[in-house]
Structure 1
């Protein structure tokens, strides 16, 4: 069912919904998704149902032409907006107005539904504001890129740790009415990057921006910046102070894959222990010497610059990529090499054990014999896992796949312990 609006939306992006229970974090099957153009509620475009993994099929939706997200001079909104209505028996329905579809990339909408309560709300409504490169937002208040850590009573971590969660204050620091959200670190980075750059940009431009976002965030974590000032959160959603994070906004696969590839990394300078507070601006409406320009980084990516070359162009030649010493919330670190058909040993056995635990919550995932041998059955189980969770379907356990399996395993096993 298409309307005359499609005449102005001649390209296509793809879209998929993932639904879990807000109590158990387990996938919800048979949830219903209805899709409308935002602002045209009488014109339903699609109705889909989730499978045993809590996912709808991937569908195409109309979007504007790619060039609108590839040039700062365009005054045309570079993404189309949709309203999503998600419901499931026994759960509070959710409505998301303003989900953003870009051309030629996959949008992923992750939703957590809470069980219905007769005394609770009839539904939950989330309105997604404009993308930061299209809407009007306050510019970043400049700070020193290396935060002082010698004040009386200052608490600073002894080493850089990638947290499992960050606490996001959805407003300015002094807004006591703003809600705090507990957000997985990787999900937070994916949300911010999807809110602040366009997923249609070159891969190395996305990598450079993701590294800047992660380094800034880990500086806030490392220095306990807000907690040392009496606040009970890690970071805010205010562009004047931190990054733009938007509750329940969709993310994009091109950004998600890069975050999973880089999530333990941050930016360093020689003889500086803390992650660098890498500030940036759009480079068009707001200019910022010695900071990364988002649109400028896009131009450099077009010219073939690598991520580190883009970062050094803005932050100087002594900036380099470092890796955190510790990743919170994972049972065991990656073995340091890709596990594939023919591999064997304790790491393979551990992988098989984790896949079997995950399979109890995701029945589409086949169970395997926990024999420590990476054979065809383990390869197929990994390939199925990769398909469910949006990773390249190689059947090999690389860095991204290992840590995604760890993340899902921890979530599923915690629920099993509670039960």
Structure 2
């Protein structure tokens, strides 16, 4: 379905939007929620009303967006995304309003949202206002730091190896701002949020990959060195661009970014004989210059020229930069077997995956239950394909690295809640 924006003449292109809603209490999908979509700044201009299905999802719709070139050319100063307001209501849950959801042309914006159950007959609406994208708005530049931290001096270093955390605590402000809230965020969701806030999802795939690797390596350096906790704070990282990365509560992410994070989430950047992930700092390269760091617009130009992700990173950080993989991933029942599970596969890993899908099917009725016999047959392939369609993965019917860890993540979410109840 096409929606034309008569109030903004310079939106000739189309982007897509899809909304996923789950319960804050059960982690299960919220069916029958209504989502009203209007132009931000014109709240009475309802364009569309969508309803979530049994998987807590709306259909994907097209919305007007500015010309693609606006997000690809650093010389153009026009806003490259259009902004929409989403109002979400569901029986028994507190209503939510999100103003400033960003729609870029050619890509799908994904709005994930958890709803809180009502605790009073007249609950107040939770309102989120999404600020400008960092490449378009004005934010404090990064305060330079050493890219390798002295970790032996304090003796307080907690980790002896690089571990991908399941959750991190994000302080939504500068470190010393005691009024700022702390948010408990899944590591992968944090990376997707930051990348969607700091680069454009329309950029070349290898540019997106290079920037995500830099964001993850920086974040894992904060985790590994316990940087803020060793200074007496109770969080992992902040949302201040002067100190860390821009992270925005309840902002939408983009499908091109989400897929790459799912593929790379255990990776980080290394230098020879340095155990810790490198604190890879960067700037935009248009509003702010930063010699010896990566610039985001510069990385885009290199991606246009066909550079690979590691070539982009080495161009800025030097030839001794390498991509490494963390030794452990927290919060998963067991690690990927190292090969793709498909029709004809069998054994304990297949059985484990089948059992996890069956637990997930208890919360997601669109997912067919299967016989957990350890044999990967057509019924298992069909269940996997349906899972992939619900969770935005390529619908192959086979379990690759991304699908294995997404099944693990959803399984842990729904089974953990079930245990608590």
Q: Do both share a fold (TM > 0.5)?
A: yes
The runs of 4+ residues in structure 1 deviating greater than 3 Å are none
Structure 1 stretch displaced more, 184-193 or 109-118 = 109-118
Structure 1 residue 120: Cα displacement:
7.7
Structure 1 residue 7: Cα displacement:
3.1
Quick check: 1:55 aligned with 2:32? no
Partner Cα distance (2:228, 2:207) in 1: 29
Which residue of structure 1 lines up, in the alignment, with residue 329 of structure 2?
327
Contact 1:15 1:61 survives alignment (8 Å): yes
Could you give the per-residue CA deviations for residues 23-44 of structure 1, whole angstroms, max 9, x where no partner exists? 1111000000000000001110
Partner Cα distance (2:192, 2:256) in 1: 10
Match runs of 1:201-280 below 5 Å:
201-280=203-282
Partner Cα distance (1:150, 1:322) in 2: 22
Which residue of structure 1 lines up, in the alignment, with residue 298 of structure 2?
296
Could you give the per-residue CA deviations for residues 246-299 of structure 1, whole angstroms, max 9, x where no partner exists? 000000000000000000000000000000000000011111111111000000
SS state at 2:152 partner: coil
Structure 1 residue 141: Cα displacement:
0.3
Could you give the per-residue CA deviations for residues 129-187 of structure 1, whole angstroms, max 9, x where no partner exists? 00000000000000000011123343241000000000000000000000000000000
* RMSD, aligned α-carbons: 1.0
Partner Cα distance (1:68, 1:151) in 2: 48
Structure 1 residue 2: Cα displacement:
4.4
Quick check: 1:305 aligned with 2:300? no
Q: Work out which of the residue numbers 108, 115, 122 in structure 2 matches 1:106.
A: 108
Contact 2:25 2:417 survives alignment (8 Å): no
Which residue of structure 2 lines up, in the alignment, with residue 67 of structure 1?
69
Partner Cα distance (2:365, 2:5) in 1: 38
Contact 1:2 1:45 survives alignment (8 Å): no
Contact 2:26 2:418 survives alignment (8 Å): no
Partner Cα distance (1:120, 1:324) in 2: 47
Partner Cα distance (1:378, 1:202) in 2: 34
Which residue of structure 1 lines up, in the alignment, with residue 97 of structure 2?
95
Contact 2:5 2:64 survives alignment (8 Å): no
Question: Structure 2 stretches of 5 or more lacking a match?
Answer: none
Partner Cα distance (2:154, 2:214) in 1: 29
Partner Cα distance (2:261, 2:152) in 1: 32
Which residue of structure 2 lines up, in the alignment, with residue 126 of structure 1?
128
Q: CA 1:120/1:184 → structure 2, altered by over 3 Å: closer, same or farther?
A: farther
Contact 2:37 2:87 survives alignment (8 Å): yes
Contact 1:170 1:236 survives alignment (8 Å): yes
Structure 1 stretch displaced more, 67-76 or 162-171 = 67-76
Contact 2:15 2:103 survives alignment (8 Å): yes
Contact 2:15 2:104 survives alignment (8 Å): yes
* TM-score, normalising length: structure 2: 0.98
Structure 1 residue 217: Cα displacement:
0.1
Partner Cα distance (1:415, 1:23) in 2: 7
Partner Cα distance (2:210, 2:218) in 1: 12
Structure 1 residue 63: Cα displacement:
0.2
Which residue of structure 2 lines up, in the alignment, with residue 182 of structure 1?
184
Could you give the per-residue CA deviations for residues 80-131 of structure 1, whole angstroms, max 9, x where no partner exists? 0000000101111000000000000000000111011228851100000000
Partner Cα distance (1:79, 1:261) in 2: 26
Which residue of structure 1 lines up, in the alignment, with residue 387 of structure 2?
385
